[in-house]
Structure formats: C-alpha cells, structure tokens
Amino acid sequence: MADKNEIIKVIKSINKAVKKYKNPIVAEIGEKLNNPYKVLISCLISLRTKDQVTAETSKRLFSKADTPEKMIKLSESQIGRLILPANYYKTKAKRIKEISKILLKKYNGNVPKKREELMGLPGVGPKTSAIVMSYGHFDKNYIPVDVHVNRIPNRLGWIKTKTPEETEKALMEIIPKNYWRMFNNNFVAFGQNICVPVSPFCSKCQVRNYCKRVNVKNSR
C-alpha cells in the first residue's frame, strides 16, 4: 500500500494536470446547473456512452423536458429519439420515464438525498448513486467509482480490487476525506487523456515516478 503522503502528492499532481482538459460531462452538469435531476438523468445516459454524445443528447433532451413533470409527458420513443445515438437508448428511455414517474409519486418530484433510496430506483447502481450524491447534492461523503477510478488506483498499486464497491471502500480507507468529492472528476479526466485503458501515455505522465504500472503491458 502506498504511503499517504505519496498518495496526496499524486492526487495533487493529477488535479493540476487535468486542468487543461474538459471536465467529465456529468460533473460539468452538476457544477454548472446545480440540478440533481439533470445529474441523475445525464448519468443514466452516460452509461457505456462517450462524453461528447452524453453532452449533446442530454442538452437535447433537457431542451424538451428538464423536470420529472415534463419528462413523463414524453413517450418512451420520443425520449429515445432525443437521446440517440447514446448506447442502449431504448432501455435508457424506459428507465428515464420510469424514474421520473417514481420521483413524482414517491418523492414529490425531488431526487432522494439518501443513497439507499437512489439505489432503489430502476437502473441506479453504486456508481450512479454516488455521482448523484457527489455532483447533484454536493455531498462530500462519497467517491464515485467508474472504470477509470477503478483502473488507475489499481494500476498505481494503491489498492488491489475488482468491483466498484471494493474500490470505493478501499479508496475511502487511504484517501483523506477532503479529496473525495472531486476524486472521480479528476481521475476520469486523467483516465480519458493520459492513463488510458490500453497503451497509456506513460512517457508524459506527471505521476509516472510513483506508479507501479500494474498490468501495463504496453505504453506510449
């Protein structure tokens, strides 16, 4: 396990390095719009979908319906057409309408502020719930874990985990809490541009001297 002082150095270096890159779209929506519903819906759209597509389709959808009340007035096929070409758009359209109905019926149109309640919504798992808590409700008690946040700390040699649940728990044990909320945002940007899944750009990586390069077979 890496030394905590070293971990903080790496986090600070990555936070500085990613300033020149665009924020991941869901975090961007949360920071700019301060709207938990839009964070939730855009996060659902983002699953298995590139950020640029998520940004474009979320904007298009929200121009037609930006509240649960407006969303349930659209048919699933209308929602589906608005979020094309997002992957699994038909399933996502169904989920978006289902969730909007539940929010109106059970939560007076509001997005729940408890993670357990969020995970009771159709299609909402650990990652989505943590993102909504972090970037929708600005709760600092979570570390959202996606493929980048799972991959990079394992690659660095900080942890040895496989599932998002294992990774979140392990990271919470070694990372100071004041870094939790923006950890996902910055590590996703870093994972999209430098520490990519295949052949990472180790030659220009700002933290290469601290990285154990676990499971890295080829690099650039």
Give the global pTM.
0.87
Q: Which helix (H) or strand (E) holds 173?
A: helix 164-174
Task: Please tell me the distance from the alpha carbon of residue 101 to that of residue 175, in angstroms, as a whole number.
Answer: 38
Is the CB of residue 109 less than 8 Å from the CB of residue 103? yes
* pLDDT value at 1 more than 70: no
91-106 average pLDDT score: 98
The residue whose two tokens read 């659209």 is 74
What does the buried/exposed string (b/e) look like for 173-197 if buried means 16 or more CB atoms within 10 Å of the residue's CB? eebeeebbbbbbbbbbbbbbebbee
Mean pLDDT of the chain: 93
Residue type, 154: N
Q: Which of 75, 119, 127 is nearest to 96 (CA)?
A: 75
Domain 25-136: assigned CATH number:
1.10.340.30
168-208 pLDDT, tens digit per residue, is: 999 999 999 999 988 988 999 999 999 999 999 999 999 99
- N-terminal to C-terminal alpha carbon distance within the chain: 26
* pLDDT value at 88 more than 90: yes
Domain boundaries, the chain: 4-22+142-210, 25-136
* pLDDT value at 136 more than 80: yes
Domain 4-22+142-210: assigned CATH number:
1.10.1670.10
117-138 average pLDDT score: 93
**Same topology between domain 4-22+142-210 and domain 25-136:** no
41-71 pLDDT, tens digit per residue, is: 999 999 889 889 999 999 999 999 999 999 9
